[in-house]
Structure 1
Amino acid sequence: MKLYLSIIIIVITFLGCKKDTQEVDNNYAYLGGEIINPNTNFIVLSKDEAVIDTVKLDGRNRFLYKINHLNEGIYTFRHGGEYQIILLEPKDSVFLRLNTLDFDESLVFTGDGDKKNNYLINDFLENEKEEKHIVKLCQLNPITYQIHIDSLKDLKVNAFKNFKKKYETTPLFEKIAKSNIDYSYYSSKEVYPFIHYGKDKAALLKSLPNDFYSYRKDINYNDTFFSNYHNYNIFLRNNFSNLSLKEHDLHSDNKVFNRNNLCYNLDRLKLIDSLVTDPNIKENLLYHFTINYLTKSQDENGNNAVLKSYLSKSKNDKSKTMLSNLTKSLNSLKKGSKLPEINIVDYNNNTVEINSIINNSTVISFWSHTYYDHFNDSHKKIKELQIKYPEINFVTINIDDYGLDKSEKLLLNHGFSPKNEYLFKSPKEATESLAIYPMTKTIIIDKNKKIVNSNSNIFSIHFEEELLGLLNR
Structure 2
Amino acid sequence: MTKNTILLFKFSIFFFLISCNSDNKITETYFGGKIINPKSNQVVLYSMEKVIDTFFLDSNNRFIGKIKNANEGLYHFSHGDENQYVYIEPKDSLMLRLNTWDFDESLVFAGKGAERNNILIDCFLENENDRKLFYHFNKLNPQGFTNKVDSLLAVKMITYHEYVQNHPNETLGYREILKTALTYPIYARSERYPYINTKYTEDGNFPELNKTFYNYRKNIVINKDSLMYFPPYSSYIRNYLYNKTYSLGHPPTKKEYSSKFTIDLLKIIDKNITIEQTKNAILRQTIISHFFNKSSCNIDGEAFNTFYTLSTNKKDKELITRLLNDVKSVPTHKKLPNFKITNYNNTSHDIFDVIKNKSTFLFFWSSEYVSKAYIGKRMSYLANNYPNINFIQVKIDGNTKDRIQKIDIKNQYYLNSDSKAHQFLSSKMPRSILVNKQGKVINAYATISSRNLNPYLKELNEN
Which TM class, normalised by the smaller chain length?
A: 0.7 to 0.9
Partner of 1:189: 190
Residue 322 of structure 1 corresponds to: 319
Q: Distance in 2 between matches of 1:61 and 1:367?
A: 29
Q: Note if 1:60 corresponds to 2:60.
A: yes
1:449 maps onto 2:449 in alignment: no
Match of 1:425, SS state, is coil
Shift of 1:319: 2.2
Equivalent of 1:395 in 392, 395, 419? 392
**What RMSD in Å do the two structures reach over aligned CA positions?**
3.5
CA contact 2:447–2:453 (8 Å) conserved in 1 = yes
Structure 2 residues without counterparts, runs of 5 or longer: 1-7
Which one-letter code corresponds to 2:18 in the other structure? V
TM-score (normalised: structure 2): 0.84
Deviation string, structure 1 residues 399-438 (Cα, Å, up to 9, x no partner): 574525x73xx64xx5x54333323334998597186656
Deviates more, 1:184-193 or 1:40-49: 40-49
Match of 2:148 in 1: 148
Check 1:325–1:347 CA distance in 2 against 1; reply closer, same or farther (3 A cut): same
Question: Which letter maps to 1:433?
Answer: L
Please identify, of 421-430 and 258-267, the stretch whose mean Cα deviation from structure 2 is larger.
421-430
The structural deviation recorded for 1:72 is 0.4
Q: Deviations over 1:16-69 (max 9, x none)?
A: 9x9xxxxx4455421112233444433322213222223333343332222222
Label 1:164 to 1:417 Cα distance change in 2 as closer, same or farther (>3 A). Answer: same
Shift in Å, 1:465: 4.3
Contact 2:327-2:424 at 8 Å conserved across structures: no
Q: What residue ranges of structure 1 are gaps of 5+ in the alignment?
A: 19-23
Report if aligned partners of 2:361, 2:433 keep a CA contact under 8 Å in 1: yes
Match of 2:4 in 1: none
2:36 maps to 1:36: yes
Closer/same/farther in 2, CA of residues 132 and 450 from structure 1, 3 Å limit: farther
Q: Which runs of structure 2 are paired with 1:342-357 in the superposition (5 Å)?
A: 342-357=339-354
Correspondence 1:361 to 2:354: no
1:273-352 alignment, distance < 5 Å: 273-297=270-294, 302-333=299-330, 335-339=332-336, 341-352=338-349
Question: Is contact 1:26–1:90 with CA below 8 Å preserved after alignment?
Answer: no
SS in 1 for 2:288: helix
Contact 2:397–2:414 (8 Å) recurs in 1:
yes
1:467 and 2:454 correspond: no
Segment of structure 1 superposing worse, 300-309 or 146-155: 300-309
C-alpha distance in 1, partners of 2:18/2:208?
Answer: 60
Q: How many residues align?
A: 451
Q: Using the TM superposition, name which of 92-101 and 337-346 deviates more.
A: 337-346
Counterpart pick for 1:4 among 11, 23, 29: 11
Residue 5 of structure 2 is matched in structure 1 by: none
Classify 1:213/1:334 alpha carbon distance in 2 versus 1 (closer, same or farther; 3 Å).
farther
1:119 CA drift (Å): 0.9
Which range moves more in the overlay, 44-53 or 425-434? 425-434
Q: TM-score, normalised by structure 1?
A: 0.82
How is 1:34-433 mapped onto 2 (pairs within 5 angstroms)?
Answer: 34-164=34-164, 166-167=166-167, 170=170, 171-198=172-199, 204-205=205-206, 207-247=208-248, 249=249, 259-297=256-294, 302-333=299-330, 335-339=332-336, 341-358=338-355, 359-365=357-363, 371=371, 373-382=373-382, 384-385=384-385, 389=387, 391-398=388-395, 401=398, 403-404=400-401, 407=403, 411=405, 414=406, 416-426=407-417, 430=422, 433=425
Q: SS state of the match for residue 322, structure 1?
A: helix
CA distance in 1, matches of 2:103, 2:327: 32
The DSSP-based 3-state class of the residue aligned with 2:11 is helix
Residue identity opposite 1:422 in structure 2: Y
In the alignment, is the contact (CA less than 8 A) between 1:400 and 1:427 conserved in 2?
Answer: no
How many angstroms does 1:122 deviate by?
1.9
Give per-residue Cα distances to partners, 1:436-459, cap 9 Å, x unaligned.
656xx6432212222223454567
For the residue of structure 2 that corresponds to 1:87, the secondary structure is strand
Say if 1:427 and 1:272 are closer, same or farther in 2 by CA, change over 3 A. farther
Letter of the structure 2 residue corresponding to residue 296 of structure 1? N
Q: Structure 1: which amino acid aligns with 2:50? A: A
Distance 1:126 1:458, change over 3 A: same
Change (3 A) 1:364 1:151: farther
Change (3 A) 1:243 1:130: same
Deviations 1:257-313 (A, max 9, x none): 564211101101111111221112212211221111122235666443333222222
Match of 1:21 in 2: none
